């Protein structure tokens, strides 16, 4: 396995490298401030997404049912890397198994 050093960063062979073209973001603006007002972040501030709290609630309910009713296991080993964001080279393949649940009132 070969590795490359770039500005005090060690990059392993096979790593995905993302590049950023700042000139594309500035769109000819010499001041360095982006002018596009169409971007509406999901985060916060005066332009907060109106449905963000509903989306968070729906995700919480979905994860609640997923954790209670299913068992997960790795389909094959995978090693995460965390720069610039968490990613898995193989996509983190998993197997999902439904947990058998007894129906209420059922007698043996």
List the binding residues: 49
Coil, helix or strand for 3?
A: strand
CB contact at 8 A, 77 and 106? no
Q: Which residues are annotated as a binding site for heme?
A: 49
Coil, helix or strand for 9?
A: strand
Q: How many residues does the chain have?
A: 108
């Amino acid at each position: 396995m070969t590795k490359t050093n770039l500005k005090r960063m060690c990059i392993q062979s096979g790593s995905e490298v993302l590049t950023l073209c700042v000139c594309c973001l500035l769109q000819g603006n010499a001041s360095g401030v982006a002018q596009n007002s169409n971007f509406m972040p999901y985060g916060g501030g005066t332009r907060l997404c109106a449905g963000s709290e509903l989306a968070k609630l729906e995700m919480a309910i979905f994860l609640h049912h997923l954790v209670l009713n299913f068992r997960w296991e790795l389909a094959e080993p995978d090693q995460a890397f965390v720069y610039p964001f968490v990613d898995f080279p193989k996509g983190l393949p998993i197997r999902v198994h439904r947990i058998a649940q007894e129906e209420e009132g059922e007698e043996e």
